[in-house]
Structure 1
Amino acid sequence: MKLLYAIYDLIWGDLITIPLPGGGTLGLSLLVLLLVPAGVYFTVRTRFLPIRLFPHMLRLTVEKRTGGHSDGISGIQALVVSTATRVGMGNLVGVVAAISAGGAGAVFWMWVTALVGSSTAFIEATLAQLYKEKDPLYGGWRGGPAYFIHALMTRKRGKQRWSVIAVLFAVSGLICWCGISQVIGNSVSSSLNNAFHIPPLYTAIALVAVSAVIVLRKNATVKVLDIVVPIMAGCYFFVTLFIIVKNAALLPSVFQRIFAEAFGLRQVVAGGFGAVIMNGVKRGLFSNEAGSGSAPCAAAAADIDHPAKEGLLQSFGVFLDTIVICSCSAMIMLLAPDQAVAGLEGMDLLQAAMEYHLGTFGVVFIAVTLLLFSFSTFIGVLFYARSNVAYLFGDNWISQTLYKLLALVMLFVGCLAAYTFVWDLGDVGIGLMTIFNMIALFPMAKEALASLWEYEKILKQKN
């Protein structure tokens, strides 16, 4: 445990502390020091891809399937899987926590982080496409950071069965996703208990039974997510849109507050400017997962006619997660009066804000939304796990099934109790994944960039 928490502090603790005017400080963790500069670097190298090619990303979301293998999944289906895991309870409770700790200005820095994170998402997803392999068990394709890290190390050191860094990435991913399974179980059972007074044991049995039916079947995951993700994200967006329209007169003051607190002199003088920036940056980074190496596990499975296409779709996924869904949670909270949410935090705060906007329906809606967000995340991370399990243990159903059973056990245990150690283990897992993933992204970025220039050349020829 001492070793775990030493690694936890190294990854998530303030590695560098910068003093600010007014007596405040700006604490920078190792992950922030890795991901933010990387995002800026890739944004410049891709010639501001998230802005420049955004209209084309939108067109790709409605493009007909262009791959050549019927047993693979489409680029849009890969986007749906990655969106299922990006859009989780962090989009609800995490955003509320960021605003509670950093004020409304945290929302602006969340948006900025999503902008630069989109470029990182493009690089890692395109590399996953470039180094994907045929999947003999599930059909279609598989891949992800473990596979392109392995290719990089093979290039440097010759042919090998496993690469140490690739193995460490794969193991870190499996640890992280087990930890997430317990967090999901606890969040869902707590939410349903608060909203409907459903005992955690009943939630555990029902949630695990439904999940088992889906994840233990060969190809049910993508089919279920194809239905659940658009419905849950669409409902959350349109309900928020209704709230925004209903409170349209307050919008100018809300945006004024966001921008004023993002750069406000009051925050600098009060010593809270560092909290404003870092809460927004951290929420943006950890919500959209750009750079962590998770989404490329889905991106590699896409059967698509050009690697850069999937890179652009995954880049759009970051926008969808942070700019759209996280902003929905921010608007729900910021459009509620202070007296309606005073003294509350986390899910209680969000439910109170929704109750103010929509009455009892709002409380029920948030509970159901959290259930769907969390459930889709669990299904999605087990899709990610396929490629890592295969890299470590080879192509066999035994290892695939054993990992799924372990995750289901963790989901059940999480519904009944919260074990902080397991949660922290999950945080360490995603932190290590990010570090190992970034080791490969910088030296291999030129291949993803070459794919982008080639794709843009094709587009010009068509036009």
Structure 2
Amino acid sequence: MLELLNDLLWGKVLIALLVVVGIGFTVASRFVQFRYFGRMFRILSASQAFQRDKHGHLSSFQALLLSVAGRVGGGNIAGVAVAITLGGPGAVFWMWVVGLMGMATSFLECSLAQTYKQAEADGTYRGGPAHYIARGMGPKWKWLAGVYSVLLLMTFGFGFTALQSYAVATSVDDAFGVPVLATGIALAVLVGVIIFGGVKRIARVTEFLVPIMAGSYLLITAVVLALNLEQIPDVFMLIVNSAFGLEPVVGGGIGAAIMMGVKRGLFSNEAGLGSAPNVAAIAYVPHPANQGVVQSFSVFIDTLIICSSTAFIILLSGIYDPAGMSDVGGVALTQSALADHVGDWGRSFVSIALLLFGFSTILYNYYLGENSISFFSSANLKFFNIFRVTVIGLVCWGATTDLGTVFGFADVTMGLLALVNLIALLCLFKPGLRVLKDFDRQIAAGIEQPVFDAARFKDMNVDAAAWTIEPEDIERITTQETVSNEHPSRT
């Protein structure tokens, strides 16, 4: 039954909806993910000047790193290997396509999460699909927001937390011989220390951890590319030709390439799934589109950079053989491929990378679960503490248990999660475009840093308190605009 539902969701329904939302918003927004690609870096730079510590706010950059911590996980190492094994090199091409479309989808869902976010007493915000469904689609759809929150809790808060722990513990056991129980206990202690500090402590940890783990993986990829410089054009052509059936052997054929590319692409970058908007909503920014632009960049980082890194490590190695790969797959394929390039220590490097990726994803999963609980009861600390203890227990249990059934169940709930979110995005297409047009209008008028005026969007039921910009930041933005007008060459 689970397999049948899984095939229906991932094989037909979600592919159609992802294409409709991704291409639809790309065209309607006049290719927003490309128009504002260069602006992503300016937004991140400007966000650091906002006084987040003084008022308890979290910056756009912190929200980006927390979302990258979640997007960049086992799917980037094991998932890409599975996609290539079952779908051939062409699956990588379709992952790229999903990533490029997903950048627009992520812009839409994360801009909506910002638009409909809710202010908290400690200076932070909460938001996400449950909030934009309840506020944007109206009270009669609050039940759907509740369904989404339950699915989010089951999928990420419970299912994927245990699965990440299992992946990390088994990988460490294979590479270093550390018993899975010992790894599970160590992970549980670290996770417990961090999650009891709330989202601010999680953000501080990911702000430190993500650049290290992503930077290290990109550095080893650069070494591999340098060692195989002459083969890169051939591998690129192999990926493109395989995507369209122009190679003699392409895994499971064009259909398998497309299926695995789409499924693994979404599983990795989560665009359209609705998970990242929960994190995007926590940022203190002057306009919702700011975070939409930034979160588009996180999809680019995940799929076009990190996933591509794994793909090239595998395809440039002497290990990959399309005709006989049944005995090597997943993490083992990535480990063997890297070892082929740099020696046996490459296996240990992959295990350490998976450990870091998995650990950061557990923190991200915890926050998604906490956010889903807050939708039903935002002020009850007892519920949060019960959930925190449960997560610690799941980390320990997951490390020592074969989770095949859990994975199948989580795959289905993740599909249902995406289904609910994509339906909501279709319903909120016009409000999303309206927010973008307000951003475009201010940019066209020469305003370097657009500001969201909640009073102009009263009919959209936004929380005005969530759009109060601190006086010192208004002064900073005003000064910036004055300098830009006096010295246009500086913008």
Amino acid at match of 2:100: L
Q: How does 1:375-394 map to 2 (within 5 A)?
A: 375-394=359-378
- Which string of whole-angstrom CA distances, capped at 9 and with x for unpartnered residues, describes residues 350-409 of structure 1? 111111111122111101000000000000121222321111223121111111221221
Task: Please point out which of 71, 85, 91 is paired with 1:106.
Answer: 91
Amino acid at match of 1:278: M
Question: How much does 1:348 deviate?
Answer: 1.1
Amino acid at match of 2:272: G
SS of equivalent to 1:54? coil
Q: In 2, distance between residues paired with 1:236 and 1:337?
A: 20
- The 3 A distance-change label for structure 1 pair 266 and 335 is closer
Question: How much does 1:292 deviate?
Answer: 0.8
Gaps of 5+ in 1: 16-26
SS of equivalent to 2:197? coil
Partner of 1:450: 434
Q: How does 1:63-462 map to 2 (within 5 A)?
A: 63-65=46-48, 67=50, 70-136=55-121, 139-154=123-138, 157=140, 163-177=142-156, 178-218=158-198, 219-266=200-247, 272-338=253-319, 343-460=327-444, 461-462=446-447
Note if contact 2:88-2:253 (Cα within 8 Å) is conserved in structure 1.
Answer: no
* Count of residue pairs the alignment pairs up: 440
Note if contact 1:108-1:259 (Cα within 8 Å) is conserved in structure 2.
Answer: yes
Partner of 1:21: none
Note if contact 2:47-2:59 (Cα within 8 Å) is conserved in structure 1.
Answer: no
Q: In 2, distance between residues paired with 1:281 and 1:47?
A: 23
CA-based RMSD: 2.1
Q: In 1, distance between residues paired with 2:92 and 2:252?
A: 18
Q: In 2, distance between residues paired with 1:269 and 1:127?
A: 39
Q: In 2, distance between residues paired with 1:366 and 1:269?
A: 26
Note if contact 2:175-2:347 (Cα within 8 Å) is conserved in structure 1.
Answer: yes
Q: In 2, distance between residues paired with 1:339 and 1:109?
A: 19
Structure 2 residue 4 is matched with structure 1 residue 9: yes
Q: Tell me the TM-score normalised to structure 1 length.
A: 0.90
Q: In 1, distance between residues paired with 2:183 and 2:247?
A: 46
Gaps of 5+ in 2: 448-487
SS of equivalent to 2:38? helix
Most deviating of 259-268 and 354-363: 259-268
Q: In 1, distance between residues paired with 2:61 and 2:81?
A: 29
Note if contact 1:66-1:304 (Cα within 8 Å) is conserved in structure 2.
Answer: no
- Which string of whole-angstrom CA distances, capped at 9 and with x for unpartnered residues, describes residues 76-131 of structure 1? 11111111110000000000110111111111111011111111101110111111
Amino acid at match of 1:432: L
Partner of 2:472: none
- Which string of whole-angstrom CA distances, capped at 9 and with x for unpartnered residues, describes residues 168-195 of structure 1? 0000000001100111111011100110
Identity %: 38
Partner of 1:24: none
Amino acid at match of 1:9: L
Q: In 2, distance between residues paired with 1:401 and 1:207?
A: 18
Note if contact 2:110-2:295 (Cα within 8 Å) is conserved in structure 1.
Answer: yes
Amino acid at match of 1:196: F
Note if contact 2:89-2:239 (Cα within 8 Å) is conserved in structure 1.
Answer: yes
Structure 2 residue 29 is matched with structure 1 residue 46: yes
Question: How much does 1:428 deviate?
Answer: 2.4
Q: Tell me the TM-score normalised to structure 2 length.
A: 0.85
